[in-house]
Structure 1
Amino acid sequence: MKLNSIGLDAKQSRELGKELNILLANFQRYYMNLRGIHWNIKGKRFFDLHVKFEELYDDANLKVDMVAERILTLGEVPLHTFEDYIETSKVPLGKNVTVDEKAIRLIVDSLKELLKIERRILDASDEANDEGTNSMMSDFITEQEKTVWMMKAWLAEEI
């Protein structure tokens, strides 16, 4: 088994880099959706939601950077073009979303997709003994599960 410079199996690190790039592309689409709903939200809940969406896109922007830097740490190259993001992402595209419930639904649906990818990476990073990636995914999952719960509560839906 060949180890990379941080002591992890090089082959497993390459595979984790590919999975993290999938997550990166999906986070970029999620981030752009959040920017769009932040800019375009209308209605009586505008002031509350405008601030909340900014909080969420600031957080997503930080996570994008964290994922890209983890990809680099594993010795891989992060995706960095819109073309790559469009080809790779599965997060739903939110275009011209102005209604509060549709915006919250878009967030929930996007987070559900991100959580699927993160859980897959969590399993793979555990198998690879990659604590750095594993810890990051665990933290992301914990935060996003709470956000889904809160958004579902706002929608008056069961988790």
Structure 2
Amino acid sequence: MNYIGLEKKGTNELSEKLNNLLASYQIHYQNLRGLHWNIQGTNFFELHVKYEELYTRTQVVIDDIAERILTLGHRPLHTFTDYLSHSSIKELPTTSDGHAGMEYLLNAQKDLLILERDILELSGEVNDEGTNSMISDLIREKEKDSWMFRSWLSK
């Protein structure tokens, strides 16, 4: 058992998955910054603000995930080399098109949800309510955001 009463074997696998999620969020964060900086066109004001809201929230999520990994007794990834090799989200080429940016967001949300649901299942199996609660909240937020992005795209 580790110092918070969870089996070390379970927290090893959970921390690996959390590190993959952390890496994915880090690449997603940088993609959001790029969208924010480069947006142009008729939706500039609307999307410029939305992208800033999203990357600001993502910064908090990144910190929460890293601190959860530390709480479980493991080390969070911190280099861009590690992020690129562990992320399920790829770097987004520079785009100024609002529609393309929203398509990216919808796809990134889906990728993150897959990782989060996998972690949620494992955290339940190892009785890790702290990780379970954090990931459940992320899933709920992401599902709502995905509905809004789909509505914006009229899909």
1:52 is matched with 50
1:109 is matched with 107
Deviates more, 1:89-98 or 1:139-148: 89-98
1:132 is matched with 130
Runs of 4+ in 1 over 4 A off after TM superposition: none
Unaligned runs of 5+ in 2: none
So what's the TM-score if we normalise by structure 1? 0.96
1:148 is matched with 146
Q: How many residues align?
A: 155
Cα contact 2:22–2:65 (8 A) shared by 1 = yes
Unaligned runs of 5+ in 1: none
1:1-159 to structure 2, matched below 5 A, reads 3-157=1-155
Letter in 2 for 1:67: I
Cα contact 2:31–2:92 (8 A) shared by 1 = yes
So what's the TM-score if we normalise by structure 2? 0.99
What is the CA-CA distance between 1:148 and the residue it aligns to? 0.5
What is the CA-CA distance between 1:90 and the residue it aligns to? 1.5
Cα contact 2:84–2:90 (8 A) shared by 1 = no
In 2: Cα distance, 1:154 partner to 1:91 partner = 22
Percent identity of paired positions between Structure 1 and Structure 2? 50
RMSD (CA atoms): 0.6
